[in-house]
Every structure is written in C-alpha cells, then in structure tokens.
Structure 1
C-alpha cells in the first residue's frame, strides 16, 4: 500500500470545507463513495462536524502554517479490504502521526482500480487548540505501511524512508500525466555523462548535445531545455546541486553557447507520451492542436470580456457623472440634494457590482469550457465520446496482473455489433473511465466495470447484481465463461447460474462439475416439489369426492 500526505503550497488556499466538498462529491458515479466516517466530533453528521471543525480552526489565531492535513492511503490494484479493516488501518495511521484525538473526516473512494481512503485531519487539537505538525512523518508512514502489508497479506512495496523524494518525482509526474517529464528524460539520457564530467567545459558540451543549458537561479542551479522547460538540477541528482558541482568542478563558469542557438543538438527534449505498445503520434498531435486552439480561444474570450466590462463601467461612470451634474443644477434644498446624491451613488455601486459579478460568471464559464487538459484526461474524454483508439491507449498502460474477482473469456469475433472494438456497450450509460481504461457503465440497476479483457466484480456484490453482470458477460463473451477470484466468489457464481437457470458453462473443469451437480440437485428438488404438489392435489380431490358422496347419502 502507499500512504502519502498531500502538501499544499499556499496556506491561503487551504480550505477544509472545499476539501470535504471535493471528497464527498459523487461526480455522477454510483459507486465512487463507499463510506464517509467522522471521528472525534460531537456529531456524526457530516455538515455539523464540518462546522465544528471550521470553528475549531478559527479559534487558533496564532498558527501561520496549514491547519489541515490531507492523508491518502491507497491499496494495490485488485486488493480490497472490508470497511472494518479500513477503519482500523485509518485509526492506526492517525495515531502514528499524532492525530489520535484530532477531528477528522475519512472518505473511502472505490471509483478507480485502486481502493483508496482520503483522510482530512484538523491539525488544531479540539481541546488544547494547539497545532500539531508531525515530525519525520515519512519514516513513520513507511514503517507502518510495511507492518500493515505483512499483517493483512497485501502486496509488499519498497517504501523509501527518505525526506528527499527526488528519486520518485519523475515516476510520480509521469504516472499522473502519462507524458515523459524533463526530469525523467535527463535521468535516462545524460545523467551518467553529467556525473562523469571533469570540468565545466565538458559538462556544458554534454548539455549542449542534449539541448540543455545550466543556469544559476536563486541559491542553486537549474537545467533549462531548448523549449524553455526547466528543472532544478539537484532534483535530478544530488551530485548536480550547486554545492557538490562547485566543490567538484570549481567556481561556476557560464556556457558561451545557449541550447537554443546550437543547431547540432543530437537529442532534444520534447514532451511526448511514454513509450507503450501503441503508436500515439497522431492522437498526441491532435491533443496538442486542440490545447493550442483552446488556449487561443480562451485568450480571445477573456480579452473580449475585459473589454466589455471596461466599456460598461465607463458608461456607468459617465451616467453617474451626468446625474450628479443634473442634481447640482436643480434648485433644491441641501438635504434634498444630499439625498439625491446618496441615491445616485448607491445606484452606481449596485450597477458596478452587477457588472463585475456578470464578468466573473462569464470568466469562470470560459475558464471551465476552455481549461487545459492533461494528456490522460483528454484520452479519457475522447474514450467516453466513443474513440476506441484513445481507449486502447489507456488500456495499454495497465501493468501487472489483475487479482480481483472477475468474469472473462475470449470474445467471439461475431459479437461486435453494439460494442466498441475492445470495450463496452455503446448505448450504455457510461459513468466514468479510469486512466488505465477501466470503464464503469450502467446495465440495468448495476454498475459494470469493464477493462476490455474482463468484467470486474467488487466484494459484497448482491446476487441480483451478479445476474446483471453475467447477462452482460454472455452478450460480450458468449455462454462459455472464465471465472477467476476467491473460491467463495466462484462457487457463488455457479449457484447464481443454477438458481436463475442461465445457459452458462465454465472453462474450469472443477467449477463446471460443481455447476452440473447443482443442476442435478436443483432438478431433483423440483421433481420432488412437483410430486408433492400432485400428491396433495390428488388427496384433496379424493377428499372432496368422499365429502360430496356423504352429502348425497344424507
């Protein structure tokens, strides 16, 4: 599992209410939120607890750092625990970080392939009203992650207990964006040559060959690519920090040639999708063109909005000035003129407020409509709109084996009508698509999770939902299915098939034998039930005949 405290760069942007609003927003997904848990508050009601936490934070007027801690616990793909286990793990992490008695709201999200918990913690103690900032939190978190992985049998991950996380920065950036970062590119392309340079001239030559330039900025060095993208040199490797470089190579000597002016660069950094099995050149070119067009439209619209706003304000000022001149020229008493001036000023203020409010609404609407999208976000949007190629690119990012309960089989070649080439039903209600191509869509009253190769079944799925999932699997894969997962899940699937008389067979011989045994038992029990009904019917018929005979004799 992975535990991470999400830092906030600006304290003024810290807002506990906004964080909870985001975490508890279902985002039009039926299965995004599994649980909302309030701890150490007088009320378990979310709204009341939120007001209590905000009041507690406002009572501390001395703290200048962020008063909210946002902790995220994420589990590997396919590994899911019960809510009781998740609550126990959440309490252990909060205790380890010193937040045992602090107010917090925890939200379990299950809308991605990785089950994860968001924990919003109030750093202000509810009784002492003092702020608590964990000391060496990365070490405590890494140690506790290892313990929990062993206790619950989870996949063990290498937790690096280091405060400088530069070794993970490139991986995190590239995993989130799907685009090769400058940091990762330098590490892969020229880090060895840079660390082996004996003087500043050799180092500059290596940089120029790769379209890079080193510059002084602040108290350190930055590496600048020919397209203007820069990265802190020490974040690439500690040997490239200003202290280590000047100690090894002497006082800094700037390069005589810039990376932009050099035309013989053999290699140059260009943001492009990470290498995978599918050619993404055309899609990425279209993505870049759309982003450029969107930025141009956004700039044009903002300029027009500002121009319209300024024109309206100028007109309002002229009208207010004209009204004041008219008031000045009329013959009236001092108090009457004063009242007229006050009314004019109030109308002026109201009109200006309306103009600014309308400008802000149109500005936010334009910002939302033309916001810059990341590569993976754009792919998910395209896939949701029916782009099978974008969906295939997302699914090519999947790494490792899937361990969760699943229903799958090789799709038949003749079952492509109404489906994407490798995906979901076109006319279904698609709720969301993850960044590795898992599609959530509605089938009846059930949400189906489809990653192209299998239908994913969550724990505690009801038998009615299993029936819906199996019906979708029959349409997609045919009647011969592969069932993988826990033994209890496999047996339950066989029972559902028999109880609902579904014409499904299994590729696993042992599971198929179990299904056939259940079929025989079911047929036998039905025959016995029919026989009992016939016996009861014949008995009641003979009884009624005897009764009618007796009545006639009487």
Structure 2
C-alpha cells in the first residue's frame, strides 16, 4: 500500500473540481477557480463505472454535491491564507488486493489522523479504472472550528509510518517505505548501487568504520585513535574546505564524513576531541581495502571474477574504439583543412571560392556523420559483446541457465505482489529450488523474475516466492504447474485464482500425471479422482 500526496502549483488546486473527479459527476465550464480541484476526482464522462465506494466525513450533509458546497463555503470563510486549501491524498493498493469497506474506512481515518487532518471535512471515493484499486481522498485544509489553514509538515514520513502499521493490521502486501534495516546511501552512491548492484564507497566506509568510530568516541578517544581506526582499512580522514572527508588511500574516492554519520562532522568531532589534528599523510595501504564488489555476494565469487575480467576487456575495447574514432575525425578535419587551403590558393574568383568552400563544408559534415555512424555501430557491437554492469552480466548468465546467477539476482528482490489472474506457491516458499526452463527462452528481469511468454498468448512469471500467471491460457497453466512441481518439490501447492482456473489446474495436473499435490483438500480429492479415472484397468484373461 502506498499513500501519496498529490501536489499542485501554489493556490492552483480547487476542491470543487477535485471532488467532481473523485465522484464522477463532472462540472460545467463556467465554474470558478474554487470549484476545479474537486472536479478532478469526479468527472463522469471519462470514467463511467470507475467509481466504487463514496464516503463523506465531518460534513453536515452526507450527499456529496451538498458536502462540496459546504466545504467551499468553509474555505471561503478564511480570508487570509494564500496557500493551497485542499489536500489531495491517493492511497494505492497492490494489484489483486480488495480491502473491505470497513478496512477502507479504517485506512482513511488512520491516514488522515496521521497528518493532523482527522477532524477536517473530506470526501473520498474508491476508483476501479486501473489494474490496482486506489482511493482518492480530498481533504479541506481549513480547520472547521478555528478557520485556520493547516499545512501538514513532514507528512511523507508520517504517511509511510502509518502505511507500515496499516499493512500489518489488515494483512496487506508489505511495501518498502524506505524503512529497511539496511540504511541505503543517497545521491550518486545510491545510483551506483541501484544501477550496477555493486557496493559503493560510501557503503564500504559505513560498514567498516561507522561502528568502531562510534564506540571509540564513546570511550573518549583522541585524534590518533580515530586516524588509527581509519588506517586499518586504508582510509584517511582529512580536512577539505570547512569540513572533513574520508578518502581511500589508494584512489581518489572520498565521501563527506558527515554523510557516514552526523557524529563525524567537523563540528561534532572538534567539540569532542578539540582542534583537528591530521594523521599520517600516506598510511599503509591494506590489501583488503575498498574495491568494487557485489552488493549481495551470495557465493558469487567465481562469477564476479569472470565478470570483472570480461568487463575489463570491454572497457579496453571501448577505449580502443574511441581512439580509432578520434583519429579518424582528426584525419578528416586535417584533410578538409588542406583542401580549403588549396581553394584559397586557386585561381577561382571570389564567388567561386565561396561556392567551393560551402561545398567542402557540406562534404565535411557528411563525412563526419558517416564516421559517427560507424562509431555508434562499433560501440553498439561492443555493448552487446560485453557486460558493463554486474546486473546485466547476471541476467545474461541466468538466461543461459546459470542457477547461481539467478539466485544472486533474487537475493535483493522483495516478494512479488499478487498481481495476476492466478498464482501458485507453497507453505515453505523460501526453501524453493531455482528452476529455469531454457527451451522456452524466458526473459530475465533485473530483480530475478523469469517471464515466460507463450505461443497462445499466455504469460507466466516465476519470482522469488511464487509463480504468477499474468495472462491466463491453457499453456500458461501447464507451464505454471510444471514450474511448481519442480520448484516446490515435496510440498503441496497453494493455488489462488478463479474457480475456472482451479478446475483447469486440476485437470491439467491429472492429464499430465504431474508429481504434485494441492493444499486445497477439494482440489486434491478431484485430482486423485481424475487420476484414478485416467488409469487404465488391467484386462482379465479368460481361463
């Protein structure tokens, strides 16, 4: 579940239009600016049948149209505020999740209370026009009693904390709201880890020295102790500008000390230890200092060695290609400069020289464009032949049938949501085997999901904990059962989906004599009945 505030330009939102969009009623073009925002949640011509449950809260009237007028009157009573008077909140659920009306009411009440708008007037409606249910809540920011415009501060953090609590309370799919146990870096370090799945220098520094430094500061250490702790891992603490940085002794990598921990800022350290004292200019470089490594190793040392080797080959090939391209460009520039000089020495008239120079400029631009096309083709071939990120290397190895690479991709993946027409899993899904049906040429995603697209239009996704049928078909059912039989060997399969899909799954399992059992007693009984029916009876010989 995700709760997100929809921000509008300052003072540009309008409760009337927003309410109209939420409820699907539509408004006339002659509306004032004050009636626009609500129309965004109502708008019936485009979304007939898209609106589900509608709820009015803290208004005298329960009729949505009268409630909108009441809210607009309340907003008009505030003459001083120049800020936006409407708070638009959207709560999105995972595809396949259908909370009950009582759950939706509790979720709305808790989220509005979390941002301090629990007693304010509001209108909400559940929208059904997407693959996932989403609840629109239009809240009047004008306090109905004091008539002050209340602006929730740090509402994003409060909404994330409330979502975590509500997911546990109502048994909803748990979403990563930025509160994971592993504190991820931000900025360029986060980009590196997200793109390449390799540990950044900031993560290395945090893992190595954050805890020892905090412990040393708690024991009244001095500057020599701080520098000694740094030197153990080949790091240097030095001044840069008005602050401090932690640098790698064998490279130019450095991070601000305060990004590792606020306790390591210049202000904090000097207040504890006195004036800054530099350490050794060149400390001993340790063997196990920072080096690019997988973010989630998971016994992939041999794979990573092979990746580093071929990546280095790719970098060398790309560097050589760019040198060749630069030399060809310089040669082309020199050749056309020589021909331009020859024109200036020729016996042509002034207009003839001008025309010849224009012709040479056109020829040069075409030659340079041809060289650029050649360079792009050459570099595209290099990009295809080599892998420059750890994730792309693992994807290629996994598609080729390497189960260790697939497990490494799935190591950091969150459990997939219930997004499909049907899904298969087992009680102890964490202990499932890794299976790749190479003959079906699956697509391997960055998170380790294998997507099988079948000839009859069906699609099956095999993720970390379950097998999802994204597009139902008979072939998709067979592939899903085959994967389930191999991945969850020895466990009963839990099947979710429509009654028609469950019947199809039982019939296919019996017809193919798959070595599986179903956790649903009714499905398992029907499978055994069909198996007995399909088993040929032995013929009795006549005496």
TM-score by length of 2: 0.58
User: C-alpha separation between the residues in 2 aligned to 1:266 and 1:252?
Assistant: 28
Of 234, 257, 270, the residue aligned with 1:233 is 257
- TM-superposed CA distance for 1:186, in Å, is 2.6
Alpha carbons of structure 1 residues 441 and 227: separation in structure 2 relative to 1, 3 Å: farther
State the match for 2:292 in structure 1: 271
Of 430, 448, 451, the residue aligned with 1:437 is 448
User: C-alpha separation between the residues in 2 aligned to 1:220 and 1:116?
Assistant: 49
State the match for 1:69 in structure 2: none
User: C-alpha separation between the residues in 1 aligned to 2:3 and 2:272?
Assistant: 37
Of 341, 348, 361, the residue aligned with 2:360 is 348
Alpha carbons of structure 1 residues 306 and 441: separation in structure 2 relative to 1, 3 Å: same
Give RMSD over aligned pairs.
4.9
Alpha carbons of structure 1 residues 248 and 2: separation in structure 2 relative to 1, 3 Å: farther
Alpha carbons of structure 1 residues 173 and 422: separation in structure 2 relative to 1, 3 Å: same
State the match for 2:17 in structure 1: none
Alpha carbons of structure 1 residues 314 and 109: separation in structure 2 relative to 1, 3 Å: farther
8 A contact 1:317–1:348 mirrored in 2 = no
Gaps of 5+ in 2: 6-39, 47-89, 116-128, 135-150, 428-432, 535-543
8 A contact 1:442–1:448 mirrored in 2 = yes
User: C-alpha separation between the residues in 1 aligned to 2:468 and 2:412?
Assistant: 17
8 A contact 1:466–1:493 mirrored in 2 = no
Structure 1 residues 369-403: Cα deviation after superposition (integer angstroms, max 9, x where no partner)? 44572212221122224444422432444566986
Structure 1 residues 478-518: Cα deviation after superposition (integer angstroms, max 9, x where no partner)? 999844254x4477322554499844663325133563699
Structure 1 residues 288-310: Cα deviation after superposition (integer angstroms, max 9, x where no partner)? 11121111111111111111111
Alpha carbons of structure 1 residues 116 and 389: separation in structure 2 relative to 1, 3 Å: farther
Q: 3-state DSSP class of the match of 2:236?
A: strand
- Write out aligned runs for 1:83-482 (5 A): 139-147=154-162, 150=166, 153-155=171-173, 159=177, 174=193, 177-195=196-214, 196-197=216-217, 198-228=221-251, 229-259=253-283, 262-263=284-285, 265=286, 268-274=289-295, 276-278=297-299, 280-328=300-348, 337-370=349-382, 373-398=388-413, 405-407=422-424, 422-430=434-442, 432-444=443-455, 445-451=457-463, 454-458=466-470, 461-464=471-474, 466-470=476-480, 472-473=482-483, 482=492
Alpha carbons of structure 1 residues 219 and 378: separation in structure 2 relative to 1, 3 Å: farther
Alpha carbons of structure 1 residues 136 and 201: separation in structure 2 relative to 1, 3 Å: farther
8 A contact 1:180–1:274 mirrored in 2 = yes
Alpha carbons of structure 1 residues 315 and 4: separation in structure 2 relative to 1, 3 Å: farther
User: C-alpha separation between the residues in 1 aligned to 2:133 and 2:250?
Assistant: 37
User: C-alpha separation between the residues in 2 aligned to 1:186 and 1:116?
Assistant: 42
Gaps of 5+ in 1: 6-38, 45-72, 97-107, 118-134, 329-336, 411-420, 524-554
8 A contact 2:92–2:133 mirrored in 1 = yes
